[in-house]
């Protein structure tokens, strides 16, 4: 693009010279946008653990999605999607286009107006895309086409500033950039030509309204307005990245969707357990009792059956585990009853501080064997282990099957193992975790359900209840309201959903509207005492306890 660079005396006519106060400056915003695109692509690669991000990965990082924008109130995706890309080829082509057009337009219009042209093109392009297709889309090409529109304006309306012999080179570069992007829009997933058209129109209009440096007259009022708008664009971009970070923070649900459990028969088929693919099996040894499965960087799961001949029950065995752990510098953090595979058991959580090495946590689940003995399953992991690892351990424990065991009703864990991408399975398991006061896990599962089935009213309702009632930092009344209203939009006049809306309104500081929603719920289900109790509580002004 050197031939068309207006800062080059050989390509731009010397007259009329720009005023001193608006001389062409070195581009800074265009390189920053390119860097942010690289950062966005790097985040998708880390979250998705793949060079070619899939739909769920792009969704969690801020891709444009009609359901989430129009009905979830996540308008920030209209800007964030411009910093994400669907693969290596996609980002390389857009970086090339940004490198070819970005510095040129920034020099011609100045960084503030350049920012408005680019951000406006990205947002308008994604708005057009929003109504043109329901498909998820990402990419900076809406902004690229906006820059193309700006250069078209300069090379036509303001062509007097370009030397005649430089115009041809400028148009050749433009045709190459636009041709490549148009071809990608037809052949590469996650690219929408509606965004190209919207970005192009927005760029043309913005370039005509804002005018380049060379043709601009000093007007203090308009200059101040541009500065305020440019600052607003920066704030909006920062907000979009902050919201995307919120989603990435809970990105466990993306990885949960890829969970593939593999059955492992043990002890000659007397015992079986399902383990995530990629975990390494180690047989019992004289020193290390029980079967173990290990995944580097995640943890170690051990499984052992104590035969009935040893004459111990669950309570006695749990006491022996606590006593033995104390000798290994382990501190008991929590001990509680637990129902495992329909049997009454015990769950123990320890913090272990070995004499050498890093501290870690140890989670033990102990429950009766069908043969009359005791089953012990344990997870050793770092203290920073997230919910996903806990869920994987739960899935393993609840997949245990012994020879001679009677068929039982399929549990929420087994439903999830059978199909992690079944939104009903995710929602069912989330409800169980919410009852267990494991809100972070429930949130990840519900976000997975909505990523797969955005029209799941039950998932919206449960997520609304979660955000309205849990303790900080997950508590978020504004999100609770959005999800509660979406659930009712999907299934109007549902008593349970109206009750959730009432709780969300109460959490948002709107007691009058909350009481009205609760009364509607009670009127629709007059025989259900829960709604009448909710009306009475809201009438007294007693707040919901998180």
Can you name the residues that pair with 339 across neighbouring β-strands?
A: 344
CB 155 within 8 A of CB 56: no
Q: Quick check: bond before 109 cis, omega within 30?
A: no
265 Cβ contact partners less than 8 Å away, ≥ 6 residues apart: 271, 272
SS3 labels along 467-494: HHHCCCCCCCHHHHHHHHHHHHHHCCCC
Rounded to 10°, the helix 495-507/457-469 angle is 30
CB 484 within 8 A of CB 500: yes
The Cα–Cα gap between 367 and 317 comes to 10
Phi, psi angles (nearest 5°) of residue 15: -125, 150
CB 398 within 8 A of CB 375: no
The widest CA-to-CA distance across the chain, in whole angstroms, is 100
Of 137, 141, 292, 444, which is the active-site residue?
Answer: 141
* DSSP code string of 344-362: EEEEEEEEE--SSS--EEE
**Of all helices (H) and strands (E), which one includes residue 295?**
strand 291-295
Give yes or no: 399 in active site. Answer: no
Can you name the residues that pair with 381 across neighbouring β-strands?
A: 299, 361
Give yes or no: 382 in active site. Answer: no
Q: Please count the other Cβ atoms lying within 10 Å of the Cβ belonging to residue 367.
A: 22
- Specify the 3-state DSSP secondary structure of 306: strand
Rounded-to-10 torsion of CA 64, 67, 73, 77: 0
262 Cβ contact partners less than 8 Å away, ≥ 6 residues apart: 274, 275, 276, 277
Strand order in the sheet with 271-276: 261-266, 271-276, 401-402
CB 256 within 8 A of CB 448: yes
Of 196, 291, 398, 483, which is the active-site residue?
Answer: 196
Strand runs labelled E in 65-138 = none
Can you name the residues that pair with 64 across neighbouring β-strands?
A: 137
Which DSSP letter does residue 160 get?
Answer: G
Catalytic residues: 141, 196
């Amino acid at each position: 693009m050197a031939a068309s660079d207006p800062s080059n005396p050989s390509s731009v006519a010397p007259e009329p010279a720009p005023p001193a106060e608006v001389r062409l400056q070195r581009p800074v915003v265009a390189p920053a946008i390119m860097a942010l695109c690289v950062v966005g692509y790097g985040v998708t690669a880390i979250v998705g653990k793949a060079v070619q991000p899939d739909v769920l990965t792009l969704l969690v990082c801020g891709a444009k999605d009609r359901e989430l924008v129009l009905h979830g109130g996540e308008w920030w995706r209209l800007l964030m999607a411009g910093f994400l890309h669907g693969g290596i080829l996609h980002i390389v082509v857009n970086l090339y286009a940004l490198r070819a057009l970005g510095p040129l337009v920034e020099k011609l219009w100045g960084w503030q107006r350049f920012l408005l042209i680019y951000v406006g093109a990205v947002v308008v392009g994604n708005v057009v895309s929003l109504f043109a297709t329901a498909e998820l889309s990402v990419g900076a090409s809406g902004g690229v086409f906006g820059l193309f529109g700006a250069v078209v304006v300069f090379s036509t309306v303001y062509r007097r500033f370009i030397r005649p012999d430089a115009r041809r080179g400028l148009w050749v570069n433009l045709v190459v950039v636009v041709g490549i992007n148009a071809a990608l829009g037809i052949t590469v997933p996650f690219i929408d030509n509606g965004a190209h058209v919207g970005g192009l129109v927005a760029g043309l209009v913005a370039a005509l309204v804002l005018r380049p440096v060379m043709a601009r007259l000093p007007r203090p009022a308009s200059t101040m307005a541009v500065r305020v708008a440019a600052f607003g664009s920066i704030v909006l971009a920062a907000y979009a990245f902050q919201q995307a970070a919120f989603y990435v923070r809970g990105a466990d649900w993306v990885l949960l969707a890829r969970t593939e459990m593999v059955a492992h028969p043990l002890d000659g088929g007397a015992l079986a357990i399902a383990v995530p693919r990629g975990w390494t099996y180690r047989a019992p040894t004289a020193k290390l009792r029980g079967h173990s499965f290990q995944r580097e960087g995640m943890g170690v799961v051990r499984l052992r059956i104590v035969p009935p001949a040893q004459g111990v029950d669950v309570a006695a065995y749990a006491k022996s585990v606590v006593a033995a752990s104390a000798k290994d510098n382990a501190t008991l953090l929590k001990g509680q009853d637990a129902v495992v595979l329909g049997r009454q058991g015990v769950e123990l959580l320890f913090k272990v501080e070995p004499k050498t090495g890093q501290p870690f946590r140890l989670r033990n689940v102990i429950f009766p064997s069908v043969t009359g003995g005791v089953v012990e399953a344990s997870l050793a992991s770092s203290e920073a282990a997230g919910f996903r690892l806990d869920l994987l351990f739960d899935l393993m424990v609840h997949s245990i099957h012994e020879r001679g065991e009677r068929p039982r009703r399929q549990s929420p864990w087994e439903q999830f193992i059978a199909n992690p991408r079944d939104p009903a399975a995710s929602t069912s398991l989330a409800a169980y975790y919410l009852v267990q006061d494991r809100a972070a896990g429930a949130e990840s599962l519900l976000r997975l359900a909505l990523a797969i089935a955005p029209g799941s009213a039950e998932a919206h309702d449960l997520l609304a209840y979660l955000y309205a009632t849990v303790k900080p930092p997950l508590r978020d009344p504004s999100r609770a309201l959005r999800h509660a209203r979406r659930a009712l939009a999907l299934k109007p006049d549902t008593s349970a959903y109206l009750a959730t809306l009432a709780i969300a309104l109460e959490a948002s500081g709107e007691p009058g509207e909350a009481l009205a929603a609760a009364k509607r719920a009670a009127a629709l289900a007059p025989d259900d005492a829960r709604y009448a109790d909710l009306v009475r509580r809201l009438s007294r002004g007693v707040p919901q306890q998180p």
